[in-house]
Amino acid sequence: MGEVYLARDTQLGRKVALKVVRQERLGNQEALERFLFEARATAQFNHPHLITIYGVGEHAGCPYVALEYLEGQNLHERIQSDPPSLTETLRIGLAIAEGLQEAHAHQILHRDLKPDNILIPATAAARRRLRARGGHPRRGHQAPGRHHGHRALAGRRPPRPLEGPLSG
């Protein structure tokens, strides 16, 4: 539904992951409603294992969501390049479980949990983050528009500078 770019918050002087609606979806009211629903769902969270949303806005008629940017690699990339030890695997698993527990407490179910959606930050000081994507509201908490296969939570792969769109 969206593309993610590395951007700079000029007011606060920090890097952000900027998710924008794909150009071909700008005229689709249902897609725009789902995009905003995704932002609202993500904004509910304040948890060390979930990506933080900083804000939403619109530029030249294109809605965007500013998300926390963490440098690192996704779990799939990490497993391929340097498989984690048993201890690290258990830490990652616990972080994932705690992030999911928080999402469930807000009536959000994750529908696309996979190694590509788990971010392992590059620095030890950064926390493991479940890049919540593919969420689905629990029964009684319906998203606008299409109710099957929508993405209720934001995120995808980490943005990289000057390489154009990174996700779709």
Identify whether the C-beta of residue 1 lies closer than 8 Å to the C-beta of residue 24. Answer: no
Q: How far is CA 17 from CA 27, 28, 156, in A?
A: 23, 23, 10
- Nearby residues of 156 by Cβ (< 8 Å), 6 or more positions away: 2, 4, 19, 117, 131, 133, 166, 167
Annotated catalytic residue, options 9, 82, 112, 116: 112
112 is catalytic: yes
Please spell the DSSP secondary structure of 27-62, one letter per residue.
T-HHHHHHHHHHHHHHHT---TTBPPEEEEEEETTE
Q: How many CA atoms lie within 13 A of 146 on its CB side?
A: 11
Catalytically active residues are 112
